[in-house]
Amino acid sequence: MARSGKVAVIGAGFYGSTTAMRLAEYDIFETVVLTDVVEGKAEGLALDMNQSRPIQNFETKIVGQTTLPDGSGYEAIKDSSIVVITAGLPRKPGMSRMDLIETNAKIVRQVSENIAKHAPNSVVIVVSNPLDEMTALAQIATGFSKNKVMGQAGMLDTARFSYFVAEKTGSLISEVKTLTLGSHGETMVPVPSQSSVKGKSLSEVLPKEEIDKLVERTRNGGAEVVALLKTGSAYYAPSAAAAEMAKAVATNSNKVMPVCAWVDGEYGINGVYLGVEAQLGSNGINKVVETKLTDEELAALKVAAEAVRTKQADVKNL
């Protein structure tokens, strides 16, 4: 496949730098731009990543750029077709994602305004937490159409659920299919009815109590990593998820994946950013794809929608 285009990753912390590295290693982009407010951090990481190219054999160039609070440096993201926002604080043990809202809203607003100015035709993928609220804020602050702004959560939460099911059942990862919808927080909705092992539904493979435990472990998947690391949050699985979304947009793959997308009518839910399955292409979200849910799962998805709706309404004023 020919290499083309530019993708930018804002924030060169653990999430941003691993995402940039994965995107570069795909070797499908001409350039990956990595930016950060800490002087020299993005440049240093980009230099290091470029030096891995002769070993890993890829041609995509990585450009590091410091950005200042006045917006200088953002010229580096000019003409990017995709921008991934990872700037913002991660949580520490005992914190909820919502504890980050005030600090990260200021960062995400400032970043989004600069994206609108320098990469006005881009598709934006938000990962900063609290995810559903920061995605809504990025859409407001960029002024982009809602299909062009999405958040990463469902890919990660689904991958966590799949990993736990594979471990519990002694299966290969490739034999397991799961799904997680809803918010990236307390109202996350793992969907056992759409989950299977070697084509057999989860309820045929595991007793209900075991499934309930895996669902609960999935909801706490991020906190489990934070509690072990103590100084930050997960980034290997999260960056795999964001990079895969960016690849789907870059290649116009039309792949259906669980993401945080604008929902307006699907599942009887109106006007909110929520974790659902959606088809991704070069314009961002082509369409939200409704999945068959049990009554209980649908009720949980509606609870999630109302929980994030209230917070998303508040975010405008932050």
Ligand X SMILES: NC(=O)c1ccc[n+]([C@@H]2O[C@H](COP(=O)([O-])OP(=O)(O)OC[C@H]3O[C@@H](n4cnc5c(N)ncnc54)[C@H](O)[C@@H]3O)[C@@H](O)[C@H]2O)c1
Interface residue list for ligand X (CB under 6 A): 10-16, 35-38, 41, 67, 86-91, 100, 104, 107, 110-111, 127-129, 131, 152-153, 156, 184, 232-235, 238
- The nearest distance, CB 34 to ligand X, in angstroms, is 10
Beta carbon nearer to ligand X, 154 or 281: 154
- Is the Cβ of residue 12 or residue 205 nearer to ligand X in the bound state? 12
Asked if residue 121 lies in contact with residue 81, where contact means CB atoms within 8 angstroms, the answer is yes
Q: Residue 270: exposed, middle, or buried by beta-carbon count in 10 A (0-12, 13-18, 19+)? A: exposed
d(CA 83, CA 63): 14
Look up residue 171 and give its two tokens: 């299966």
Three-state DSSP class for 87?
coil
Give me the residue whose beta carbon is nearest to ligand X.
13
Closest CB 261 distance from ligand X, rounded Å = 14
Residue 119, burial from CB neighbour count under 10 angstroms (0-12, 13-18, 19+): buried
CA 84/CA 82 separation, integer angstroms: 7
Which residues belong to the active site? Answer: 184
By C-beta, is 150 or 202 nearer to ligand X? 150
Shortest distance, position 3 Cβ to ligand X, whole Å: 26
| Shortest distance (Å) from residue 199 CB to ligand X | 29
Q: Closest CB to ligand X among 243 and 298?
A: 243
Helix pair 41-51, 14-26: axis angle to 10 deg = 30
The minimum distance between CB 222 and ligand X, in angstroms, equals 6
Q: Please answer whether residues 211 and 202 qualify as being in contact, where contact means their C-beta atoms are separated by less than 8 angstroms.
A: yes
Closer to ligand X by Cβ: residue 104 or 183: 104
Close Cβ partners of 310 (under 8 Å, ≥ 6 residues apart):
none
